[in-house]
Amino acid sequence: MKFLIILFLFSQTPEDQNRRCLLCHGKKDFGIMEKGEFKSLYVSYKDLKQSVHHKFTCVTCHDDVRVIPHLIKPRKIHCLQCHFEGNVIGAPVREMPEKYKESVHARAKKEKGKKAPDCYDCHGIHNVRGPEDTLSTVYKENIPETCGQCHKKERDGYENSVHYKGLKEGVFESAVCTDCHREHDILPPEDPRSTLNPRNVVHTCEKCHADVKIMKKTGVPVKQVEAFKESFHGIALEFGVLKAANCTSCHGYHEILPSTDPRSPINPANLAKTCGKCHPNASQNVAKGKIHVIPGEKEAGIVYYVYTFFKIFTFAVILGLIIHIILDLIGRFRRKEIAGE
């Protein structure tokens, strides 16, 4: 066949091999009709050269392609062909890509009729760039938009949040989707392994909110995490009472707003309603008390004095018991000596 060109893969440079593929795929109007719709098969040479895969050839991934024009339709490839734990040929040797198999996205893809993202939906196809590249779809500042392709409502809420504002103001440590939900192994909140499981939420938030350097940039008190852990809610969570309030119960999820914003659930005008979700009899008085206080600090007000009293009282009782036991033992010892005489 005069149109059949055998690709001698091992006798050509990678660039020569790719140029052969781009004779067709490099044309912007190149494509096929599939189910009555035009499907573009165009590949940008510029994107390919600037991607993390620029050292590889097209057939590194499309390893079933041997001739052009193709005699059979090339099979669909998957990134796990190379990105699997233990691979030593240059792909990241980590378990993260494989953990995608356990994620909510992978589970949804298995369900008939459901659409969910695969690797290329987030990382791109031929234009895959490293996360440190500002043009990458997984560069930190671009992640909200990448995730927002599917999660539009959540993205819109996030763009009103203090986290998004911080990000845009240059605080690069500000949380984006992957900081809370993780990257590949995104699990549902009811899964005990999930970063958003009620038992794990505080730990997820404290990665940033307990970091002095990050909080100094934002002006947020770093001791709030410690204060929560010492509170009734924090102690209840620690003992496995998962219905107890955690950070998201009061502050919200994506649209986290400052307490000065009238829309915020922690605005003084809204606190009764927020607390009322768990405490039906909550009144406006809840807004009068101090929140996120450490009992051992004077800033806690009357709580400090009650805490200090019981601390001293408990110590005094224990000390009294110890003294009583010692005196009792001395008395017994003396009585035995007298009885022996």
Residue 155 lies in a domain: no
Residue 43 reports pLDDT greater than 70: yes
For the segment 132-156, the average pLDDT, to the nearest whole number, is 95
pTM of the model: 0.80
Residue 224 lies in a domain: no
CB 156 within 8 A of CB 147: no
For 48-75, give the secondary structure using H, E and C.
HHHCCCCCCCHHHHCCCCCEECCCCCCC
Residue 283 lies in a domain: no
Residue 329 lies in a domain: yes
Residue 14 reports pLDDT greater than 70: no
For 311, the domain range is: 301-335
For the segment 271-299, the average pLDDT, to the nearest whole number, is 85
Considering its fold, how many domains does the chain have in total? Answer: 2
pLDDT at 93: 63
Q: Where is the domain boundary, 77, 106, 134?
A: 77
Residue 95 lies in a domain: no
Distance CA 165, CA 154 (A): 15
Specify which residues 33 forms β-bridges with.
38
pLDDT at 2: 40
pLDDT at 340: 66
Residue 29 reports pLDDT greater than 60: yes
Q: Where is the domain boundary, 60, 77, 94?
A: 77
228-261 per-position pLDDT tens digit: 998 999 999 999 999 999 999 999 999 999 999 9
Residue 290 reports pLDDT greater than 70: yes
DSSP 31: E
- Comparing C-alpha atoms, which of 232, 212, 205, 215 is closest to residue 303? 232
293-to-98, 222, 277, 302, 303 alpha-carbon distances in Å: 42, 12, 22, 11, 9
Distance CA 147, CA 186 (A): 12
Residue 86 lies in a domain: no
Q: Where is the domain boundary, 26, 50, 77?
A: 77
Residue 272 lies in a domain: no
pLDDT at 341: 58
- Give the percent of the chain with pLDDT over 90: 53
237-to-58, 79, 191, 266 alpha-carbon distances in Å: 52, 39, 16, 20
The overall average pLDDT reported for the chain is: 87
What confidence category does residue 4 fall into, taking pLDDT thresholds of 50, 70 and 90? very low
- The beta-strand segments (E) located in the chain are 5-6, 31-34, 37-40, 67-68
Residue 13 lies in a domain: yes
- In the chain, the amino acid numbered 129 is R
For the segment 299-304, the average pLDDT, to the nearest whole number, is 80
